[in-house]
Chains A and B, each alone.
Chain A
Amino acid sequence: MAEAAAIKISGLSKRYAGRSVLALSDLTLSVKPGEVYGFLGPNGAGKSTTIRLLLNFIQPTAGSAQILGQDIVAGSTLIKKSVGYLAGDVSLYPKMTGHEFLKYMAELQPPQNKSYAPELAGRFEADLKPRLRDLSKGNRQKIGIIQAFMHQPDILILDEPTAGLDPLKQEEFFKLIAETKARGGSVFFSSHNIAEVQRICDRVGFIREGKLIAEQVVADVAAAAARTFDINFVDDAPRAELKAVPGVKLEAGTGKAATIHMKGDLSPLFRVLARHNVSSINQREVDLEHEFLRFYKGDGK
């Protein structure tokens, strides 16, 4: 039997009052348990609308969605027992201290493990003493992340979660995502940052103008992407032979060095290389960013 989806969206659409254009049009996707799903798209593409629909902050115009089998409208309160949420532009109570704020959130939803929020505060080096209005954006973001993770939810819905975090705290955040995934939790998060999506996501959905234009398994993108080799020969590079290898694209150049991009079976390339004296060969890391950008810009399909 197929495993039930953690998040299942079917034909979800949203038209805001007074607007003629759909902000989200017929979105269908699903997120499996234990999966990290990245939702990529430019500003105004419909990422936040999708997230606000999932959390029942706004009502769908058409379609439906379930989280852990519960309808997002009818079962909204029940769903939120298992959901952690971080808004794109995190809004906190300016007069409260970080400590007061987390206490308030814990009173609204008592966590099973009471020591986890202080542990997270320690990991993110979050100062909980000052009033929230006195904190920088990055420090407010840390508090936002703590409140989203503090009750160890099964589902995390995160809108641009690393905005404002310094690289070290971004690392800590990625660890937190990995821990969530390791205990079977699912993560649905929107981002502009292709590099972070590439790093932590299992699957990526690309959204443009309210429509899901493509979904890719990150590992498949890597497998399908052209591999790049920098090869140095003892003598001049056999350019004509290299060019003739099926699937090879040779970069322009002269002399002993050659850079080639290749898709598919590598055997024909190595047969050519075997006939010549090769001094070094280096495979570059797959440039997923380039692959993702094709979708991001709308020419991936």
Chain B
Amino acid sequence: MIPLIKWEFKQRRLSSIFWALGTSFYVLLVDSVFKSFVNSQTVNFARTVQNLPSTVKSFISVTDSFNTPAGFLSSEPYYVVLPIIFIVMAISLGGSLLASEESSGTLELILSRPVSRGRLLAGKALSGLGLLLAVDIAAAAAMTLFTTLFRIHIAIKLIWEMHLMLLLLALVFGSLAFAITAVGRAGRSAALGITMLLAIGGYVLTSLEGAIHWLVWPAKLLPYHYYQPSQILNGTFTVWPAICFSVITIALIILAFISFRRRDLAGS
């Protein structure tokens, strides 16, 4: 399994470095504007947000307190942009780890060696987890560094808890894309399409659940509902959503394993 992980890392090292650099640059940008935002614009911005229709407001933030570090970070960075970055990366990884090798025919090369399908799948899943974890650690480190540098007073522990939750949320979508490619021969585009639809649809539905009451129940079925950055950054982190995300991820990987073990590979 080690060679599989090693070569997967090697093949994807450049793209992962770019993901990490891009995310860190975004963190730098957000952290650098915090002070000036608080000093000059918070009152006006908060008033503007207050006056927005609740449906529009729900897409921007789950909090109205933009002038605190926790309020500021739990709005755009941790509520919208960073989850999108990590979910897109996870889906793209999950949808391609197996599918791209199957469609190009190189999966047969690996399986013509004494590598069981289970080991192959485990190697691919661990590679995806490792790559996502590496980018997440880079982003968390960047956030830790730049919040300190720009004197945004938030506990380092809370930042890392936030990034753990971010990783777990992304893993749910990544493992779903991975499972779709492992279950059937629908391929990469089907996995990307279905998972993206669920991710974007989930975000829209969950954002609107506060304004449209009948959406409360369907929203409860979606991961985004349980992703609450303001709770985490205010120090009221509960482990249940994290456990749920982990269980869903593990269940999807098991489903992928069971299905992939005995299915026909697509011809190259």
Residues of A within 8 A of B (CB): 16-17, 48, 52, 55-59, 76-78, 80-81, 83, 85, 87, 89, 91-93, 95, 104-105, 107-109, 147
Contact = CB atoms under 8 A, between A and B. Distances in A.
Contacts of A78: 114
Contacts of B265: 52, 57-58
A87 B109 CA distance: 8
Contact of B106 (A52, A77, A91, A109): A91
A141 B262 CA distance: 29
B263 interface: yes
Contact of B109 (A16, A48, A76, A92): A92
B213 interface: no
Contacts, number: 66
Contacts of B108: 52, 55, 57, 85, 87, 91
17 contacts: A52-B108, A52-B265, A52-B267, A55-B108, A56-B111, A57-B108, A77-B114, A80-B111, A80-B114, A89-B105, A89-B268, A91-B108, A93-B106, A105-B109, A108-B4, A108-B114, A109-B113
A156 B65 CA distance: 69
Nearest to B263: A59
Interface string B115-150: 110000000000000000000000000000000000
Interface string B176-209: 0000000000000000000000000000000000
B112 A92 contact: no
Nearest to A91: B105
B112 A85 contact: yes
Nearest to A147: B109
A99 to B, nearest CB: 13
B39 interface: no
B11 A108 contact: no
A81 B4 CA distance: 17
Contacts of B3: 104, 107-108
B105 A80 contact: no
B104 interface: yes
A80 B109 contact: no
Contacts of A76: 116
A107 B113 CA distance: 10
Contacts of A95: 11
Contacts of B263: 59
B112 A55 contact: yes
Interface residues of B, number: 23
A83 B112 CA distance: 8
B257 to A, nearest CB: 15
B7 interface: yes
A92 B237 CA distance: 47
Contact of A91 (B6, B114, B262, B268): B268
Contacts of B106: 91-93
Contact of A80 (B4, B7, B11, B112): B112
A230 B3 CA distance: 63
Contacts of B116: 76-77
A207 B264 CA distance: 22
Given A59-B264, A108-B3, A81 B114 contact: yes
A104 B264 contact: no
Contacts of B105: 87, 89, 91
A59 B262 CA distance: 7
Contacts of A58: 264-265
A58 B117 CA distance: 12
Contacts of B17: none
B81 interface: no
Contacts of A57: 108, 111, 264-265
Interface in B1-45: 3-4, 6-7, 11
